[in-house]
Every structure is written in structure tokens, then in C-alpha cells.
Amino acid sequence: MPVKSGERNRFITLDAILPPFHRDIDMGDWIFVIEKLRVTRQRRLVRSTLSAMMKRMRILIAPDKFKGSLGERAVAEAIAAGLRAVLPEAVLVLAPVADGGEGTAEVIREAQRGEWRSCPAHDAFARPITARYAWLEKAKTAVIEMSEAAGMRRLAPDELAPIQASTFGVGEMLLDAAACGAAEIIVGLGGSATNDGGFGLARALGFRFENRDGGEITGPVSDLLGLARIKTPNEPALPRITAAADVSNPLLGPHGATRTFSPQKGATPDQLELLERSLTCLAEVAAATFHRDNRDVAGAGAAGGLGFGLLTFCNARMQSGFEVVAEAIALRAKVERADIVITGEGKLDRQTLAGKAPAGLARMARELNKPVFAIVGQMKDEPGVRELFDGVMTLDAPSQEYRNAARQLELRARELAITESVFAK
């Protein structure tokens, strides 16, 4: 775009006055340059302004949500406000992240300028709801969060009942996205209230589960103890499906879906055994029916075994949720261009290491030799957790229900900028 030169009333191009490295500068930085050009109207000052800008510290702020308190974007903005108070000349790049759990659809939608679509569905207890998912028109991709239909956030604490809870509504969302012409559907696996191994989802897609007498099984997960055969629909017309998981647990066993996650969904000790036996029956009949056994695939136990269901009934591919998001928002390129990386989440512990966004980002920053810091609500001082980061700051909060979280994040970001020497370089 030509820029008018005031005194001589002639036009010059940015290419004529800027050094050859200008192509590596963001649009936000261009606005800074152009504004200086308009004000100074002198080539020499524009060159010096650009050179100074190239030396400004560039900080990437890429946090996950603080569950129950602040979303990813709000966390990033609070951290930015704190840094800006201490480092007014720094270039702050906000890139909220997720890992397949709640917030995944919003992060990808925002980064790719997608839209929201709504569809009728049912919650974990078959109550009618209106569910929404992100739609990326250019790529014809739908980004679904299973928790939108079958998540704990839809339920009151006294409603949790994993034996009765179903993923049927997730299947309804898949069908709606397919009917809209999706070429790919990404399913975020996190925040589930279910432990049905994808049994409900498969029923929504047209699979029929029968007992030894040929009767259809439609009831609670425990009815799968009588499962004898699975009948497939004539045309399960689904596009390519990616299951985005933030955990690597198998379906069964001591580290499986039931024993690891069901207690937090309301399962009693007696129910744990019942659920484990039910999913074992499902896995065995599915293996005999489809001639493949997905029970030990990493991530099969995600979302109460929905990972297994997507692998088995939808031929999905399993992928790290963080990797899915990182690719969608071009995170690696942002880290490469940053001088410092800051991330965060509500709770930093050993589970963070198993696929959560802050750990994935920290490892990426390490690969690229970038200093990386975390501001978190709480941290368990467990092996390998603190070592991922150059520094960790926690909020003054007794639990994950952080009061005034935005203000606390801002104060911690200020403190980080003041106390860490790398910010003074």
C-alpha cells in the first residue's frame, strides 16, 4: 500500500524505505510503523523506529482456562494487563490454548475465525438440550466438545450417576455436523459425566446392542453385562473423525476410565466394579464384531471410555488434544518468534505432565530454547512438575474456586516481570 509523503506530495512504498527483514513483522507491528510514518513523515525516523521495534521484547501469553473461574481468553488478558504495567514497550501476543477438554472449540474457533452452530441433542440423562459446536467454513471442519452434551457442567452435583449417564447426545452432535457437510470432525474429550465406553454415542449413530435373547439393550451401562452381539447400521456415513484427548489412559485396568475417573463422577466403590465389568463385556464383544481391539490404545479411556467408542464405532484417529490445538492455532510459529513464553492453568500437578496444555507448551518452548514461565492457581510439588518451567507463580487461593482471579493473575504477572531477570534484558 503506498504511503503519502507530506512535503513533496509524492508516493513511496514501504518496500522502498524499510529494511529487508520487514516481511517477518506482524500486522499489529505494521500499524505501529505506519502510524510513526504518518506522524514523522521522514524516512530516517521510520527506519530508527522499525529498528527499535525489532528490539522490543516479545512475550507470548498462552494459558489454559482456570476451571470454574476464568476462561482461557480472560486468563490471558489478565496476565497481559499485569505485564503491561511493568513492561509498557513489550509486544504481547495472546494465544489462549486448550488440550481437548473444555475450551477447545472456542480456542480453535477464535484462531480460525469460525462460527458457532447449534443443534438439538440430549444431555447425559436424555433431557432435551440445544448444543453448539464450532464450524470452520473454509476447512469444512466441526469442532465438538463432548462435554457440551454429556459433560459434568450440564449437571448439578447431586445428579452425578455414571451408571445411568449416556453419550447419546454426542452422537447426535456428530450426525448434525455430518449432515452439514463436514469433511472432518474434531471431538474434544474432556469434562465428561459418563462412563459408558461410547455405548450411547454408538446407539445414536444407529448401532444396535443385543442381549442373548435378541432383545435390544438401551438402558444403563450395567445392562452391557448381558451384551451378546452388536449390529452395525447400513450406512454409518461419517467423515474423518479426530478424537482429541488430554489423557493417555486405556479403557480398562487400574489406570483405565473407570478406576481413574469414575469416582469424581459420583461412582461408589461397589459401582466401580460393576462399571469395569460392563466395559469389559463391551470391549470383548466389540473386538469379536469388528476384528480389532482398541481397549489398550492410549486415550481409549478418555471421557469415560468415549475414546474407545470413537475408535471402535467411528474409525477415529486418536491424537493429543494439545497437538490438535497447537496445529490449529499455529502455536509453534508463535513460540519461535517469542522471546519469553508464559502459560498457566488452574492446577499444576502430575496430571499436567500427561497431556495437558501447559506441559505441551513448556516442552515446545524448551525445544526452541525459549524461557517459559507458568502462573497457576495451585501447584502440587510433585516430581517433574516444577522442572518443566523456568519459574512458577501461584495465586493466593485455598481452592480452585478462585475469588478475584483476574486481579490475582494481574498482580502475579507484575511480580513475575519485576522479579525474573530475563524480563530485564
Please state the pTM of the whole predicted model.
0.84
Together in a domain, 338 and 260: no
Which stretches within 112-167 are classed as H helix? 147-150
Q: What is the CATH number of the domain that holds 377?
A: 3.40.50.10350
Q: What is the CATH number of the domain that holds 129?
A: 3.90.1510.10
Together in a domain, 276 and 403: no
Residue 70's pLDDT is what? 92
Together in a domain, 388 and 401: yes
Question: Which residues fall within 8 angstroms of residue 301, CB to CB, at 6 or more apart?
Answer: 247, 249, 250, 251, 252, 255, 256, 257, 260, 261, 307, 308
Q: Is residue 67 part of a domain?
A: yes
| CA-based nearest residue to 104, from 245, 284, 226, 257 | 245
Together in a domain, 343 and 403: yes
Per-residue CA distances from 284 to 5, 289, 294 (Å):
76, 9, 10
Residue 422's pLDDT is what? 74
Residue 419's pLDDT is what? 87
Range of the domain at 29: 3-55
Together in a domain, 296 and 391: no
What residue type is assigned to position 23 of the chain? Answer: R
Residue 311's pLDDT is what? 98
d(CA 61, CA 94): 5
Q: Is residue 368 part of a domain?
A: yes
C-beta atoms surrounding 222 within 10 Å: 15
Q: Is residue 91 part of a domain?
A: yes
Residue 8's pLDDT is what? 37
Together in a domain, 88 and 122: no
The grid coordinates listed for 307 are 475414546
Residue 20's pLDDT is what? 41
Together in a domain, 170 and 260: yes
Question: For the chain, what is the domain count?
Answer: 3
DSSP track, 91-117 = EEEE-----SSTTHHHHHHHHTT-EEE
Together in a domain, 41 and 68: no
> Of 24, 39, 55, at which residue does a domain stop?
55
Together in a domain, 39 and 116: no
Residue 7's pLDDT is what? 39
Together in a domain, 231 and 192: yes
Together in a domain, 37 and 126: no
> Of 299, 322, 345, at which residue does a domain stop?
322
Per-residue pLDDT of the chain (425 residues; tens, 9 = 90+): 444 444 333 333 444 444 443 444 455 555 555 555 555 555 555 445 444 544 689 999 999 999 888 999 999 999 999 999 999 999 999 999 999 999 999 999 999 999 999 999 999 999 999 999 999 999 999 999 999 999 999 999 999 999 999 999 999 999 999 999 999 999 999 999 999 999 999 999 999 999 999 999 998 999 999 999 999 998 767 999 999 999 999 999 999 999 999 999 999 999 999 999 999 999 999 999 999 999 999 999 999 999 999 999 999 999 999 999 999 999 999 999 999 999 999 988 888 888 899 999 999 999 999 999 999 998 888 888 889 999 999 986 554 455 688 999 999 999 999 988 777 66
Together in a domain, 205 and 62: no
Q: Is residue 276 part of a domain?
A: yes
Q: Is residue 327 part of a domain?
A: no
Residue 21's pLDDT is what? 39
Q: Is residue 342 part of a domain?
A: yes
